[in-house]
Amino acid sequence: MDRTRWEEIRRVGALIDRFKAKPLERRRRLLQVHGISLVLDVGANTGQYARGLRRAGYRGRIVSFEPVRSAFARLRRAAATDKRWTVERLALGRRDGTATIHVSGDSRASSMLPMLPAHREVAGYFGTVADEEVEIRRLDSVFDRYVRPSDRVLLKLDVQGLEPQVLDGARASLARVAGIQIELSLTPLYRGELGIVPMLGRLQRAGFALMSLEYGFCNPKTGQMLQVDGLLFRPLTDGARAPRAPRR
């Protein structure tokens, strides 16, 4: 093997290993390649996802939606000094209205769906500690409030089993979404949620291709992986790069 080829193998191999070890960098590269200029962060909790994007170097706009009162208060504080990060106390779903959300002892696990034993057995604190009445809107109802005609949108969904309902409420706007990051369950954690195989099938039929998987949630007692995050994008025509997202 000549020296030039060996140096190429070392260089490319180092990049592959870096992306394998640092999923945030892999995510940032996908957003960059697909020209993402706006992230709709649905199920934002206290802002962990948005802060991760900022650490990874994403400088585009973010709109975060979170319905739980206590989590939203922390989310609003987290976004207060970021002029390109907007927050709304709102749930997204199939129709406009209100609903009851079951607030978990770990607010990240709060859901409008009943939690199944496979989730509760991971730790006792995942159980419901309160119920709250929250406002729901369809993504179709609010999309044009935040999205500019030139935006390339990533829709991030972390809604604890309600992903199909959010997608049902986005029938018109989904065509204007370039990518989706979505929580995928390998085993049911909430009553009535859609598993990983049918969910991927639904998104693929809508024109999205799976491009990355990230670690999500496991049962530390058994080692069983319970959830992963999937990143799906509409393929770029003929392999062309999308317009570069603005950095400021």
pLDDT tens digits along 103-160? 999 999 999 999 999 888 888 888 899 999 999 999 999 999 999 999 999 999 999 9
Q: Per-residue pLDDT for 29 more than 80?
A: yes
Output the pLDDT for position 126: 85
What are the two backbone dihedrals, phi and then psi, of residue 237, each rounded to the nearest 5 degrees? -60, 125
Residue 122 lies in a domain: yes
Q: Which CATH number do you get for residue 208?
A: 3.40.50.150
Q: What is the mean pLDDT of the chain?
A: 90
Distance CA 143, CA 211 (A): 25
Q: Per-residue pLDDT for 16 more than 80?
A: no
Output the pLDDT for position 121: 87
Output the pLDDT for position 248: 40
Beta carbons of 96 and 67 less than 8 angstroms apart? no
Segment 51-56 mean pLDDT? 95
Residue 162 lies in a domain: yes
Q: Which amino acid is at 132?
A: E
pLDDT tens readout for residues 191-233: 999 999 999 999 999 999 999 999 988 999 999 999 999 999 9
Six-digit token string for 208:
């999205």
Six-digit token string for 31:
């957003």
Listed residue (176, 178, 173) closest to 243, CA to CA: 178
Provide the number of structural domains found in the chain.
Answer: 1
The number of C-alpha atoms within 13 Å of 223 and in the hemisphere containing its C-beta is 0
Residue 7 lies in a domain: no
pLDDT tens readout for residues 78-98: 999 999 999 999 999 999 999
Output the pLDDT for position 245: 47
Distance CA 110, CA 87 (A): 18
Output the pLDDT for position 93: 97
Segment 47-75 mean pLDDT? 96
Structural domain boundaries enclosing 164: 22-239
Output the pLDDT for position 241: 55
Residue 161 lies in a domain: yes
Helix orientation angle between 48-56 and 23-33, rounded to the nearest 10 degrees = 80
pLDDT band for position 37 (50/70/90)? very high
Q: Per-residue pLDDT for 58 more than 60?
A: yes
Integer Rg of the chain from CA: 19
Q: Per-residue pLDDT for 247 more than 60?
A: no
Residues 202, 232, 39, 126, Cα dihedral to 10°: 70
